Structure 1
Amino acid sequence: MTTPQEELLPATRRSLLHRIAVAQAEGRAPSLVAAVVRDGRTVWHGARTSVDGHGPDENTQYRIGSITKTFTAVLVLRLRDEGVLDLGDPLEKHLPGTGAGEATIAELLAHTSGLAAESPAPWWERTPGSLRPELADVLGEQPFLHPAGRRFHYSNPGYTLLGALVEKLRGAPWEEVLRREVLEPLGLNRTTGRPQAPHAGGWAVHPWADVMLAEPAEDLGRMAPAGQLWSTTGDLARFAAFMAKGDDKVLSAATVREMRKPAAPAETTDVMDGMTYGLGLQIQYWGGRLLVGHSGSLPGFLANLTIGVEDDVAAVVLANCTSGPMLSVVGADLVRIVAEAEPRMPEPWRPLQEVDTSVLELAGQWYWGTHAFALRLTPDGGVSLEPLSGNGRRSRFRANGDGTWTGLEAYYAGEVLRAVRRPDGTVSHLDLGSFVFTRQPYDEGAPVPGGVAPEGWRGIG
């Protein structure tokens, strides 16, 4: 998968290296390693300082913390796509007796279940998982802090429940299912539950002196689906390519797009930061760009996976320190550097190979009341409808194969668009969820709701 670094211009490569060098130096990280993916391929890898006396490369493992949650979410979406469960199902339907069964699977994925952020003391990230052998030990006596579905509240125990759900429905341990269904099909051979050499050691860096303290690397036990994994920039680059485009061996492109859609109500502070959460993915607008991915941290390690959706550029950044560099900012900057220095080439325009003349006659200008819209044919066989000027409701529509189309986004998502024809076959109007679109404003020859004033258009006087 790795391609020659010459695919990026020398100036771009230096800018990327300079960015991680600044992050490592100012963040005082023992080591920092990064990779950039473009068009589904790794085009750059960089590292600063060393691990065990050697510069870390794309095969050096770091702990990735909560990026593990995205892997767990993939397993759950696979179950949904197979028809084993529905995201609206309460957990109790498939995993009874947890004490948190009223939360739906979608709410657990989006951190809107109302569950607490952490398991009961002692802090699970720095203590053995053997202290929490059962789900009851993870959830505690009062697992809910908020009403289910009402607000976003990040929950590590929520993803423990999702991991247990996977185990119950697959009849095998979470890590075994992950290996079989995701890691092996995607070729992620260096992503594991326990560290495998070569790997970085985890360190705490003293806040007021340039000295370090070794951090424990605990097996998280039941909490593993929330943060157990170790991985490399090479593997996470392949995972980023999958999360951008999908892979039918694991999840379709449509399902990974679904994961990237906001699924949680944002808090006021999140709105100000342009942040929300999808189904196992963090979503953020940064510098005018839509970025999706996930961050991760465990004692001794920081991790970040950032995907620039429109630019088709992704970045992976890993460091072996408990705190220090803001890797989410570094990841966003790496995406920006490539996207701005070497903008994506647009696909060449090509005419359609064939066109349905009954659809072609619908193209052009339509009116909803006095609002002018344009209907266009799209290369994928669908249509789009958007205002001719200014802001307004717009959407792409997928062809249903029966002369109707279904909206894909925004206000018209899921709504059906159809052309209504007169007995002689000519088009009377478009119907979109009871809205009537006519060729002329308030066309008196079309069934405009409420009718059209018989005196027609007129001036004053």
Structure 2
Amino acid sequence: MSPTSFETLLPGTERALLYRVATAQAEGRTPSFVGAVARGGRMVWSGARSCVDGHAPDADTQYRIGSITKTFTAVLVMRLRDEGLLDLGDPLEKYLPDTGVGEVTIAQLLSHTGGLVAEAPAPWWERTPGSLRPELSDVLGERPLLHPSGRRHHYSNPGYTLLGSLVEAVRGVSWEDALRSGVLEPLGLGRTTGRPVAPHAGGWAVHPWADVMLPEPLEDLGLMAPAGQLWSTAEDLCRFACFLVKGDERVLSAQSLREMRTPAVPPEAGDWDGGYGLGMQLARRNGRTLVGHSGSLPGFVAGLWLSEEDDVAAVTLANSTSGPQVGQVAADLVRIVADAEPRLPEPWRPLPEADRELLALTGPWYWGTHAYGLRVRADRGIELSPLGGQGRGSRFRAEGDGTWTGLEGYYAGETLRVVRRQDGSASHLDLGSFVFTREPYEQGGAVPGGVDEAGWRGL
């Protein structure tokens, strides 16, 4: 194996992963527990523990994944946006009239900021047949809006039911058919289905005060399916996690997935380590930024977390209603691999050719008296960074018209352009109206307000 190969994990790392899965199964008192890790675009490890000796599940055993289904639904909606069939700022009313919540936008539904109720009206929708709620009005109830739209994050299962119905209305096929043809088949997720396909685990409730179990009902959720219906395997979810970072042009671009991973609203007070994007949960764990989703339905809990920076994803699946902290275990699996076998940086390589016009822009620039350095990136974009350790910096993407667009922080989405003199030389940089010159308060430069003619002076 070459020094940069990621085909397998080290034996010590695999032992630590299995130990974490084993303790999760034992301490969480769950009939079975599966964990898996992906790195470099593929699953590199899986392990499982079971209460039945010799019958541990594997990475091809289906479990119900609950609300991880929402991320699949969000991908379908983003596909519609990228195809020009809708806009995220559109009100729901444009596609689904007469719901009573038509002013809520598609983006607000994706990010759980529409102000909708968290659950459907009684009886408990997760343990009763979806046939009890044949219409959207049965899912939304008499008072579907609890908060002003766009003001706060309030998790809503009915909100994702509406998104599933939106997909059906725009595509002209069922949510499940749209999912199969648009996501599952292109990504090769053949073991991700709407109903269980053997081999699959059964769902159990474990008594909180005694080591005894009770089978949970496995209901078809009907209209609520886009919020939590799916069954999947550790291997399929590892493949899906890799897609959520790299993208696949047959399904959704990496740029659109980056948009999904971007926080849509501020976190709730007291929850500064968590957030939500467009169909993806965001969290800070063990000093790392993780994105993914958790899931639960009676009899099952599931977790999927990925660290883009470490190129590591982890999946955890268990068949009990409560007990194992699958989200924390998935975060621990990411940490174990990332700490024990940190990602190797890509080898430095020079650019294939030198862009002399771009090279002429590199080096120091000054916003007033604040010193910045401009450097060319390997992707032919540029980076403008404060040299004193304080200030606003950003990476910029090159555009076809000779400008650059900010990718992060204060300058995200802002335009940087080079203002040139009549002889073609660079006069200054204009970044959202901020002027950067080659010298601090350059005499004769384009500094707003002008520069004192006497120039710099001592006391």
- TM-score using structure 2 length: 0.97
Name 1:63's counterpart in structure 2: 64
- How many Å apart are 1:6 and its aligned residue? 7.0
Instruction: Decide whether the 8 Å contact of 1:275 with 1:285 is kept in 2.
Output: yes
Q: Give the distance between the partners of 1:14 and 1:53, measured in 2 at CA.
A: 19
* 1:97-146 CA distance string (max 9 Å, x none): 11111100000000000000001111101111011000000001110000
User: Is 2:234 the partner of 1:233?
Assistant: yes
Supply the AA of the counterpart residue of 2:255.
A
Corresponding residue SS for 1:37: strand
* 1:320-342 CA distance string (max 9 Å, x none): 00000111110111001000100
Name 2:140's counterpart in structure 1: 139
Alignment of structure 1 residues 428-443 onto 2, 5 Å: 428-443=427-442
* 110-119 or 49-58, which deviates more: 49-58
* 1:284-331 CA distance string (max 9 Å, x none): 111211100000000000000000110010000000000001111101
Corresponding residue SS for 1:7: coil
Structure 1 residues 251 and 50, CA gap change in structure 2 (3 angstroms): farther
Instruction: Decide whether the 8 Å contact of 2:304 with 2:314 is kept in 1.
Output: yes
User: Is 2:119 the partner of 1:118?
Assistant: yes
User: Is 2:293 the partner of 1:294?
Assistant: yes
Q: Give the distance between the partners of 1:100 and 1:51, measured in 2 at CA.
A: 49
* 1:386-438 CA distance string (max 9 Å, x none): 10122321111111122211111111111111111111122111111100001
Q: Give the distance between the partners of 1:111 and 1:74, measured in 2 at CA.
A: 15
Name 1:325's counterpart in structure 2: 324
- How many Å apart are 1:355 and its aligned residue? 2.5
Q: Give the distance between the partners of 2:126 and 2:23, measured in 1 at CA.
A: 29
Name 2:187's counterpart in structure 1: 186
Supply the AA of the counterpart residue of 1:40.
G
Q: Give the distance between the partners of 2:35 and 2:21, measured in 1 at CA.
A: 8
Q: Give the distance between the partners of 1:456 and 1:5, measured in 2 at CA.
A: 59
Supply the AA of the counterpart residue of 2:184.
L
Supply the AA of the counterpart residue of 2:159.
G
Q: Give the distance between the partners of 1:167 and 1:11, measured in 2 at CA.
A: 48
Q: Give the distance between the partners of 2:215 and 2:142, measured in 1 at CA.
A: 33
Corresponding residue SS for 2:271: helix
Instruction: Decide whether the 8 Å contact of 1:260 with 1:279 is kept in 2.
Output: yes
Name 2:376's counterpart in structure 1: 377
Corresponding residue SS for 2:323: coil
Q: Give the distance between the partners of 1:323 and 1:51, measured in 2 at CA.
A: 19
Q: Give the distance between the partners of 1:128 and 1:413, measured in 2 at CA.
A: 46
* 1:250-294 CA distance string (max 9 Å, x none): 0011111111000122111221xx100000000011121110000
Name 1:393's counterpart in structure 2: 392
Number of aligned pairs?
Answer: 455
Percent of aligned positions that are identical: 72
Corresponding residue SS for 1:411: helix
Q: Give the distance between the partners of 1:92 and 1:5, measured in 2 at CA.
A: 49
Supply the AA of the counterpart residue of 2:418.
A
* 227-236 or 48-57, which deviates more: 48-57
Q: Give the distance between the partners of 2:315 and 2:437, measured in 1 at CA.
A: 50
Cα root mean square deviation, aligned: 1.3
Q: Give the distance between the partners of 1:414 and 1:357, measured in 2 at CA.
A: 26
Alignment of structure 1 residues 171-182 onto 2, 5 Å: 171-182=172-183
Name 1:368's counterpart in structure 2: 367
Supply the AA of the counterpart residue of 2:160.
Y
- How many Å apart are 1:445 and its aligned residue? 2.1
Supply the AA of the counterpart residue of 1:49.
S
Corresponding residue SS for 1:270: coil
Q: Give the distance between the partners of 1:217 and 1:435, measured in 2 at CA.
A: 60
Structure 1 residues 155 and 440, CA gap change in structure 2 (3 angstroms): same
Supply the AA of the counterpart residue of 1:359.
L
- How many Å apart are 1:167 and its aligned residue? 0.4
* 279-288 or 398-407, which deviates more: 398-407
Alignment of structure 1 residues 347-358 onto 2, 5 Å: 347-358=346-357
Alignment of structure 1 residues 402-421 onto 2, 5 Å: 402-421=401-420
Name 1:11's counterpart in structure 2: 12
Instruction: Decide whether the 8 Å contact of 1:111 with 1:264 is kept in 2.
Output: no
- How many Å apart are 1:359 and its aligned residue? 1.0
- TM-score using structure 1 length: 0.97
Q: Give the distance between the partners of 2:78 and 2:458, measured in 1 at CA.
A: 59
Ranges in structure 1 where 5+ consecutive residues have no aligned partner: none
Alignment of structure 1 residues 46-85 onto 2, 5 Å: 46-49=47-50, 54-85=55-86
Runs of 4+ in 1 over 3 A off after TM superposition: 50-53
Corresponding residue SS for 1:234: helix
Name 2:426's counterpart in structure 1: 427
Name 1:98's counterpart in structure 2: 99
Instruction: Decide whether the 8 Å contact of 2:37 with 2:315 is kept in 1.
Output: yes
User: Is 2:343 the partner of 1:344?
Assistant: yes
* 155-164 or 410-419, which deviates more: 410-419
* 1:78-109 CA distance string (max 9 Å, x none): 00000000000001111111111110000000
Name 1:130's counterpart in structure 2: 131
Supply the AA of the counterpart residue of 2:356.
T
Name 1:449's counterpart in structure 2: 448
Q: Give the distance between the partners of 2:70 and 2:54, measured in 1 at CA.
A: 31
Corresponding residue SS for 2:302: strand
* 1:143-192 CA distance string (max 9 Å, x none): 00000000000000000000000000011110111011100110111111
Instruction: Decide whether the 8 Å contact of 2:130 with 2:219 is kept in 1.
Output: yes
Q: Give the distance between the partners of 2:344 and 2:369, measured in 1 at CA.
A: 38
Q: Give the distance between the partners of 1:133 and 1:163, measured in 2 at CA.
A: 14
Instruction: Decide whether the 8 Å contact of 2:6 with 2:39 is kept in 1.
Output: no
Q: Give the distance between the partners of 2:82 and 2:25, measured in 1 at CA.
A: 41
